[in-house]
Structure 1
């Protein structure tokens, strides 16, 4: 085959490069497909196709494309390696990050207390919401909320007035058990929300009667999982502390506190409470619940234990019945 040269002896480009850009693009695509397809064919057919690609210059084009692809793949592998190194370095330094909810075990809380005691306001404080976004009207059923407090995923259950008489006996019992189901296998703490004595809110709560209602619904085992929370501290004008409130108490607050063995927390319900004070309240309550969890674990109702025993007995009976059926086959 004669070499195509110009009068100066330089090689003339392949005939496929003499056409317009449309033709060149078409030949490039055809050559690429032929060259790649030829690699899967027998040698008798493969070599003529490769010869055609070589004569037309398409094999050189494919070689250049292959080199480019290999270069891009190398860059991609390098980037992936550097990304992996970065995750190893940064991940090891953020294992204890307080903002990572998966870095610490979660908590399960039930907010409970008589109507008008500030339970919903405390819930909004824990959720970081304002009272403007709080649901209006009387709460009739337990509600479940999720949030992250101090780097922990926290489940919060708001309860209706199950310690009062507004719902009726059957409804109170139902909602009390439902609150436990929503935080299965059990809550780490009950935040017993009461109006602070002397806050002049016009609602009188006998803490001793409230505690007796708790015992009726949940049994004596609940005493070890109660943290009293006294609300409306803003109405006290800062003149009293928790210790002073207990000293001047003329109701059942001191007796209720002595039953559960936990010192109450005094919180502010003011609508314009500064965010810093709300954050401090959240941190303090989380610390109290964690201390209680480390000592007591989570609460389990006696009816839940009975339910577990019934389920186990039912499972054994069903297994025996199935085994007998298999034995007769």
Structure 2
């Protein structure tokens, strides 16, 4: 018979007296009572009853009953977690044997997620070149069937156009005659900075559009001089982002590749290649070109620009870097002023 069967009133009185003590006494009695009670379970019955009587008189048996219920609850929770873990192991084992079902479900219902995850990073291009090189025609070729094609006629200011093809957004900045003499120095400078602003945070490439050598009855356009003019406008750091684009490929006859043009070159095209480090692209930019051929030109140029982007990122002008530094310093000064103001409040 357990010690709880002793006189109920005396036990309650002892419990009340024990619980009314301070926290140190309560902790000490709890430890002692627990140890005695557990120790009594291993003793013979003749020796066990005095210990049980002590527990009853001091009220520790009531506390032990509460502790026993708490331990039972915790053991029940532990059993529940073990049961749930067995169910989880069964589900994992079952699903590992039928992975092909999940693959079929993803193949049937995952077309939308696949298309969204295959979205390629956008590209930003600035088109430059002397008048007559086919700069605006190339912009229209890059824009394809987009409704934002560059309007026909001389361009008076930098314009921004966008299109999407093959899962990639393309931003094309067409510029006026920045490399020629038709504009004053102030206007050229402002339009150059405007083109950078339109291509913010920076272009991935400058497409330098000039006529291919021997493609016209007029004077050939010097790619080296054009590159030097670009560097005067945008700084020496732009040289790594310049891609020469040779237009009017339909007028070259048998010299219809870049390698063949370099073979017969007198040296100007080779100097341009060595200066910017990029092999030129030869394109046919006729407006009446079939859409399939325009798509080939689009992929040809976009592929080259993508290589530059993966290698160097986007171009940042020195003035932009200076502006960022000034902005950071201004924000730091404002933060310090605000901190001082809050400190005096």
> TM-score per shorter chain, which class?
0.5 to 0.7
User: Equivalent residue of 2:279, what SS?
Assistant: coil
Instruction: Give, in whole Å, the separation in 2 of the partners of 1:198 and 1:166.
Output: 25
Q: Output the CA distance in 2 between the equivalents of 1:242 and 1:303.
A: 35
Who is 2:94 aligned against?
A: none
Q: Is the 8 A contact 1:144 1:155 kept in 2?
A: yes
CA distance in 1, matches of 2:248, 2:281: 11
Q: What is the aligned residue count?
A: 240
Question: Does structure 1 residue 216 correspond to structure 2 residue 228?
Answer: no
Which of 152, 164, 180 does residue 164 from structure 1 map onto? Answer: 180
Alignment RMSD (CA, Å):
2.3
Contact 1:117 1:195 in 2 (8 A): yes
- The match for 2:67 is none
CA distance 1:101–1:174, shift in 2 (3 Å): farther
Q: Are positions 1:206 and 2:233 aligned together?
A: no
Cα deviation for residue 140 of structure 1 reads: 1.7
Cα gap change, 1:134/1:311 in structure 2, threshold over 3 Å: closer, same or farther? Answer: closer
Report deviation, 1:87.
10
**Residue 151 of structure 1: how far off its partner (Å):** 1.4
Go from structure 1 to structure 2 and tell me whether the alpha carbon gap of 1:172 and 1:88 turns closer, same or farther (over 3 Å shift): same
> In the alignment, what sits opposite 1:60?
none
Q: Tell whether 2:124 aligns with 1:108.
A: yes
Matched, 1:284 2:300: yes
CA distance in 2, matches of 1:126, 1:261: 23
- For 1:306, the equivalent position in structure 2 comes to 322
Q: Does 1:180 align with 2:200?
A: no
Q: Which residue of 2 aligns with 1:93?
A: 111
Which residue in 2 is equivalent to 1:8?
Answer: none
Distance in 1 between the 2:109 and 2:119 partners? Answer: 12
Alignment partners' CA distance in 2, 1:118 and 1:278: 14
Gaps of 5+ in 2: 1-103
Is the CA contact (8 Å cut-off) linking 2:129 and 2:226 kept in structure 1?
yes
Pairwise CA distance, 1:270: 2.6
Counterparts of 1:27-38 in structure 2, within 5 Å, are none
Pairwise CA distance, 1:184: 1.1
Could you tell me the TM-score, scaled by structure 1's length?
A: 0.68
Deviations 1:93-143 (A, max 9, x none): 35554xx6971111111111111100111011111149xx75233212110
How far, CA to CA, are the matches of 2:109 and 2:254 in structure 1?
45
What secondary structure is seen at the aligned counterpart in 2 of 1:186?
A: coil
Q: For residues 154 and 134 of structure 1, do their structure 2 counterparts lie closer, same or farther at Cα, with a shift above 3 Å needed?
A: closer
Shift, 1:148, TM fit: 0.8
Structure 1 segments of 4+ aligned residues over 6 angstroms from their partners? none
Q: 1:189 to 1:322 in 2, by over 3 A?
A: same
Given that 2:205 and 2:242 are in contact with CA atoms closer than 8 Å, whether structure 1 keeps it comes out as: yes
The reply to whether residue 249 of structure 1 matches residue 234 of structure 2 is: no
| 1:126 counterpart residue number | 142
Match of 1:258 among 262, 267, 274: 274
Q: Distance in 1 between matches of 2:183 and 2:109?
A: 51
Q: Tell me the equivalent position of 1:237.
A: 253
Give me the TM-score of the superposition, normalised by structure 2: 0.65
Corresponding position: 1:148 with 2:129 = no
Structure 1 unpaired stretches of 5+: 1-85
